[in-house]
Structure 1
Amino acid sequence: MDEIDLEELAASLTLREENQAIKSYQNTVAVACPACDEQFDDLVVCKENPTSLNLSKQLDLCVGSADGKGVIFTHKK
């Protein structure tokens, strides 16, 4: 996986939620996941270490890091 340019990636996505622990974006323009090259559904940026996520759906996940933060790309099944 190449280095993730979080600023460039986020500019193409729609911000959905931001709180103290995370920032999440929806992929509304069919951007490819940097890890698997498939379209992803959401990007979650972990702002705190550690961060806990409560997932309400079964998802495939690709993970990486950018700017020292964990990033998660979700793929709905």
Structure 2
Amino acid sequence: MDESEYEHLTTSLTPHESAGGVTTYRNTVSISCPACGDPFDDLVICEDDYNSLELTMLLDLCITTHDDEVLLFTHKH
């Protein structure tokens, strides 16, 4: 993902929380997922080398990277 795409995402989405090397944003404006083209629910940015995510619901995930960060796009069922 290039810098302009990353900036568009992080400035258009609603910040939700940031803790432990993980930052989440809510997609309240129905931006399309860059991987599959469907609107996604949340963007999860993993900033550290190792992160653990505890999921409480069944999700489809699309994944890309920006610099040294992993970006997860969640799609709820």
**TM-score calculated relative to the size of structure 1:** 0.91
Q: Is the 8 A contact 1:41 1:76 kept in 2?
A: yes
What's the CA shift string for 1:20-63, capped at 9, x where partnerless? 32000000000000000000000000011111100000000000
Determine whether 1:63 maps to 2:63. yes
Looking at structure 1, the residues matched to 26 and 57 of structure 2 have their Cα atoms a distance apart, in angstroms, of 15
Q: Larger % of helix: which? A: 2
What is the CA-CA distance between 1:8 and the residue it aligns to?
Answer: 1.7
3-state DSSP of counterpart to 2:7 = helix
Match of 1:19 in 2: 19
- Residues 32-71 of structure 1: pairs in structure 2 closer than 5 A: 32-71=32-71
TM-score by length of 2: 0.91
Matches of 1:62 and 1:54, distance apart in 2 = 17
Alignment RMSD, CA only? 1.0
The answer on whether the counterparts of 1:6 and 1:67 sit within 8 Å (CA) in structure 2 is: no
Runs (5+) with no aligned partner, structure 1:
none
Q: For residue 6 of structure 1, report the CA deviation from its aligned partner.
A: 1.8
Distance 2:55 2:20 in 1: 17
Stretches of structure 2 lacking an aligned partner (at least 5 in a row)? none
Read off the aligned partner of 1:22 and give its amino acid letter: V
